[in-house]
């Protein structure tokens, strides 16, 4: 048995009477010993439990730190090759959790801002890095929402983030090509074009030779906004429109790929979930919902019509269904367009006979009927019932003829 180091008591323990402090220490020691015993049989289950409990704040942090220390220093707990797997898959995530919890308890706002900005200035190349940074930002926002927002705003205006956005460099190049009528504008165009060419390695087409460390920085920012919403809980409602406006901005201006698309949907899903869990949401009117719905309709329209197994289509329709329950209600024109886009995306999928021909050469052909029905049910039930059975801005209900019109457009 390892001798436990004498750690400083937690903030909670320092307010307890000495007898209760001693009892809590005994409890923490016993809890960590039990977890270490379980670790020898199933370290994966313990690691998952630790990660879950520390995020809720239920499990005593001193015991968790102790167990983590043993896991990373004691080779005998792991079988051959397992420790490397542990360190690669989970240790990094725990570091981001610890970092966020430390910043959460920090009283000095300047310290919080400095550390968050330093973290954001690191690499955004790998998914675990982006998710971890976002998680740290979200945990810090639990107690420092104003300061976290200010850091993300400042970071979003930084040169590195600007050059990661696809439209910025192209606009500078266009300004340089078109010229300007005034000396000041010509100077701005010239200096901007020189800076842009420096970032594009002299390629006049404006195709940037992107630094992989910064290519997906927009993904990190989107996930950070989503984590802010989740961790801030009841305090998030006044911030929803501001967060949505930033999400919409990065949707329109980022260099779009599958990574950015999934980050956008994940962030929106987290935000919508945080709103739906808030009892006060029904009393708020969110001014950015319409702009967000436009982004989601663009995603739906860009989904390939010859591909059945696309999670984007399903996620997007579920998010749209949730957004339609929020205030203010949609007007009839926007409802009609929304239905049209959703039904076109779902009902324009290939016929089952066509799908069978395309999948017959698969080693394990999927069950086409099983795959096809969820999309049909998802489109009809989630969209029609939610959108049609919600009043418009004047309190009127959308008639069924709207659905029939959308079907005619979509088929």
Helices 18-56 & 61-73, crossing angle to 10 degrees? 70
Residue 244 confidence (pLDDT) above 60 = yes
pLDDT confidence bin for 283, thresholds 50/70/90: confident
Which of 9-23, 63-77, 219-233 has the least mean pLDDT? 9-23
**pLDDT-above-90 percentage for the chain:** 30
Confidence of residue 106 (pLDDT cuts 50, 70, 90): very high
Q: pLDDT for 4-51, tens place per residue? A: 444 444 444 555 677 777 887 788 788 778 877 887 777 777 777 766
For Cα atoms 298, 221, 241, give the angle at the middle one, nearest 5 degrees: 65
pLDDT surpasses 90 at 115:
yes
Q: How far apart are CA 363 and CA 367, in angstroms?
A: 13
C-alpha dist (Å) from residue 257 to 37, 260, 262, 271, 299: 45, 5, 9, 21, 11
User: Does the pLDDT at position 73 exceed 80?
Assistant: no
Sorted by sequence, the CB contacts under 8 Å of residue 62 that are 6+ apart come out as 7, 9, 10, 28
pLDDT, tens digit, for every residue of 382-396? Answer: 454 455 455 555 555
282 or 90, which is more confident: 282
Mean pLDDT of the 334-342 span: 83
Quick one: pLDDT at residue 122? 94
Mean pLDDT, all residues of the chain: 74
Please state the domain extents for the chain. Answer: 13-124, 285-410
Distance CA(351)–CA(355), nearest Å, equals 6
- Kindly state the average pLDDT of the residues 107-131: 95
Specify the 3-state DSSP secondary structure of 391: strand
What local confidence, expressed as pLDDT, does residue 15 receive? 55
Provide the pLDDT for residue 24. 78
Q: Give 285's strand partners.
A: 327
Would you say 140 and 104 are in contact if contact means Cβ atoms under 8 Å apart?
yes
Helix, strand or coil for residue 360? Answer: coil
How many residues can be counted in the chain? 411
pLDDT value at 332 more than 60: yes
Separation of alpha carbons 101 and 103, rounded Å: 5
pLDDT in tens, 346-358: 666 566 666 666 6
pLDDT at position 381 over 90: no
Confidence at 205, pLDDT banded by 50, 70, 90 = very low
User: What integer pLDDT is reported at residue 45 of this predicted model?
Assistant: 78
- Counts for the chain of helices (H) and strands (E), in that order: 19, 0
| Average pLDDT of span 299-308 | 78
């Amino acid at each position: 048995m390892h001798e436990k180091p004498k750690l400083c008591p937690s903030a909670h323990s320092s307010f307890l009477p000495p007898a209760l402090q001693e009892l809590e220490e005994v409890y923490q020691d016993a809890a960590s010993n039990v977890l270490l015993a379980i670790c020898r049989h199933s370290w994966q289950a313990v690691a998952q439990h630790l990660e879950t409990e520390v995020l809720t704040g239920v499990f005593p942090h001193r015991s968790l730190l102790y167990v983590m220390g043993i896991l990373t220093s004691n080779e005998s707990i792991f079988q051959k090759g397992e420790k490397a797997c542990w360190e690669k898959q989970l240790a990094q995530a725990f570091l981001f959790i610890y970092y966020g919890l430390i910043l959460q308890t920090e009283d000095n706002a300047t310290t919080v801002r400095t550390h968050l900005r330093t973290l954001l200035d690191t690499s955004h190349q790998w998914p675990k890095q982006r998710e971890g940074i976002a998680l740290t930002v979200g945990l810090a926002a639990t107690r420092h929402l104003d300061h976290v927002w200010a850091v993300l705003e400042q970071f979003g205006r930084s040169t590195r983030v600007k050059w990661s956005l696809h439209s910025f460099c192209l606009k500078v190049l266009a300004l340089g090509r078109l010229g300007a009528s005034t000396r000041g504008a010509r100077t701005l165009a010239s200096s901007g074009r020189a800076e842009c060419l420096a970032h594009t390695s002299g390629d006049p087409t404006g195709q940037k030779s992107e630094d992989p460390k910064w290519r997906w920085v927009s993904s990190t920012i989107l996930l950070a906004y989503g984590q802010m919403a989740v961790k801030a809980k009841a305090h998030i409602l006044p911030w929803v429109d501001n967060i949505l406006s930033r999400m919409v901005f990065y949707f329109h201006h980022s260099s779009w790929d599958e990574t950015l698309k999934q980050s956008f949907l994940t962030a929106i899903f987290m935000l919508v979930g945080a709103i739906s869990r808030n009892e006060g949401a029904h009393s708020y009117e969110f001014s950015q919902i319409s702009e967000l719905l436009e982004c989601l309709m663009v995603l739906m329209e860009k989904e390939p019509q010859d591909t059945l197994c696309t999670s984007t289509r399903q996620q997007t329709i579920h998010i749209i269904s949730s957004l339609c329950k929020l205030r203010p209600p949609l007007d009839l024109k926007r409802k009609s367009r929304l239905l049209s886009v959703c039904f076109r995306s779902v009902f324009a999928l290939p016929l089952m006979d066509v799908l069978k021909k395309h999948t017959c050469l698969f080693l394990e052909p999927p069950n086409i009927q099983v795959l096809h029905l969820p999309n049909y049910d998802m489109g009809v039930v989630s969209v029609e019932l939610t959108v049609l059975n919600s009043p418009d801005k004047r309190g009127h209900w959308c008639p069924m003829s709207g659905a029939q019109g959308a079907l005619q457009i979509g088929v």
